[in-house]
Structure 1
């Protein structure tokens, strides 16, 4: 059976190498788009693999925190689905993004918490139990809130089929996660041996998704890449700052504030890219692809700063 130290070490390395692998995949898709253009049908299956892997890392006791101490989880998840969608809309308005890019950055904001946020919270000396609970709850609520918020905020730019998007989120997110949760409960010893490899599976799957997305929107990347990067940096940075501020308002301890910051600022941008590609256009998926690189890099940097700083209260 794999030790907790092995699992943590593999997760740590995967998070630190994540931006490098994503950058490599994005560069490959931009410079050699041809071979990847026919592979767009693999985006959703890859996302389902990632969500199934997330389900394998969860156990039913992980949800006990929600019942025992619901307010930090509820406050954090509420912030997740308020702060980032509204920030995405505000960034699109201020930077005057074209409709496709605006819809893409808004959809990133409407996505649930990122799959790497739990490890980043650990590295930042955050509240791991709260991180797992927030990620799990926001992801399980995504079939409701992601399409409704996208319809509300992105509907002014492009038509949004919220009902069909909700069904897609159920298929891509909810069913695989529940499947992984059940498989772990039934085959705990076998799954425990696989857990150390799961961060790498997620990293490689998301890198593959980003490669396909960038390949399909290479022209837009070369024409407006700097603008997309600026939008993503502002969106993610303000999310981290406001998430920490909300933790202070909720009078949470320092470790929990860091967790709320990470959970709010880090999005499931792979899911956002996949939905944007499916329901809008390849160009709309570009913000999700860029966010996949940036939020893991910024998360690693913030975690390193907090880890050196320690907990002072």
Structure 2
């Protein structure tokens, strides 16, 4: 077909560190980019709010006091250092039990956020005796569960700081980056512990690829998964096993001089490609991989090259 078109990532449009949009499932977060570039210096940097190191809570000096060690944390797309502090926990009034959250606030310092007093302790956010919903720009470091109204030293058993339960950790739950659609997805739903029943915020810096045409290209072959079967005999029959492999993509192109051509300068880079079987329709194949090439300099003819694309995943069919 004469109307086929191959495009390559010729540049990038960079986005500074900013908050990603919750897709609504509290698990997948969308950027403003259709794809994330993987080129050197442009790969995405993801920074979910949460603790990184330190921030250990212990019994303080005197009644109703706790100490918190210095810590590092991701907050609003910045890695911050939080100084150590000693905090006062307010005991229950109108009930015997209260749960207080030790947090890092938006200013980057430790702060107590007290829950409602109640006759019994609760694990339900916002309930009497339970922890409060903390501000959306805060990080929960741990909880203090007090079961009496009389001033007294805090006990070790009243301090709770289990990751994922009452301590927000930047690296938990783990997440993966899908560069093909510009998203970050966590393996499980984020806890809805912030005001308004919201999860922690997720920030990222990234770049979106800018595409240009590959002039005089031909013979594009996308990466594909292939399957093979092997078998072994045993008494009474045969047992078969299936294995899967991924082949690289490839294409050919004529070049100007084989030295100053834009594609030649991108060898070794992890970049995106788009192939349109028909440039006048919207459907295309999307491919990301490390670009390699083998050049030919025939006498009296244009320089030509066989290009390879070494992917981590197979190509994606995009129907628009």
TM category (shorter chain) comes to under 0.3
TM superposition score normalised by structure 2: 0.24
Give the strand-richer structure, 1 or 2.
2
TM superposition score normalised by structure 1: 0.24
Give the helix-richer structure, 1 or 2.
1
